[in-house]
Amino acid sequence: KAGVTQTPRYLIKTRGQQVTLSCSPISGHRSVSWYQQTPGQGLQFLFEYFSETQRNKGNFPGRFSGRQFSNSRSEMNVSTLELGDSALYLCASSFPSVQGQDSYEQYFGPGTRLTVT
């Protein structure tokens, strides 16, 4: 079974531009989560999508947005890039949590390393 894939792997943008990152989950997984990883803040949750709906959202400004398609693929968009947006963006997929049942682990992709200059 293929793992989580993320494209592109590396990206260089300038301040003020916008960027779109893509994530394809493991086949059969319907939940996709996005995380930002920086040396200073560590791993921070951005948002989670399930069945094309945003189910959870972290504490990030509105410049960060996402969406999920009917095939569970997800995209993340950052508008008006700032230097502080330079980070490794990780996508993770899982079976959705079901209330009353135990949790399934999330499987991560290789990440997209975004550099803003």
**Binding interface with other proteins (CB under 8 A):** 31, 33, 35, 42-43, 45, 48, 50, 55-56, 58, 88, 90, 92, 94, 96-97, 99-103, 105-111, 113
For residue 75, give both structure tokens: 């995209």
Taking the complex as a whole, the smallest distance from the CB of residue 15 to other proteins amounts, in Å, to 24
CB of 18 to other proteins, least distance (A): 23
Q: Per-residue DSSP letters for 11-65?
A: EEE-TT--EEEEEEPPTT--EEEEEEEETTTEEEEEEEEETTEEEEE-S--TTEE
Closest CA to 35 of 102, 105, 112: 112
Smallest distance, other proteins to C-beta of residue 21, A: 14
For other proteins, which is the closer residue by CB, 42 or 62? 42
- Quick one: 20 or 95, whose CB is closer to other proteins? 95
The nearer residue to other proteins, 19 or 35, going by C-beta atoms, is 35
Distances (CA, A) of 64 to 82, 86, 101, 111, 115: 11, 13, 31, 17, 16
Instruction: Tell me the closest approach of the beta carbon of residue 79 to other proteins, in angstroms.
Output: 23
Shorter beta-carbon distance to other proteins: residue 18 or 27: 27
Q: Could you tell me the end-to-end alpha-carbon distance of the chain, in angstroms, rounded to an integer? A: 37
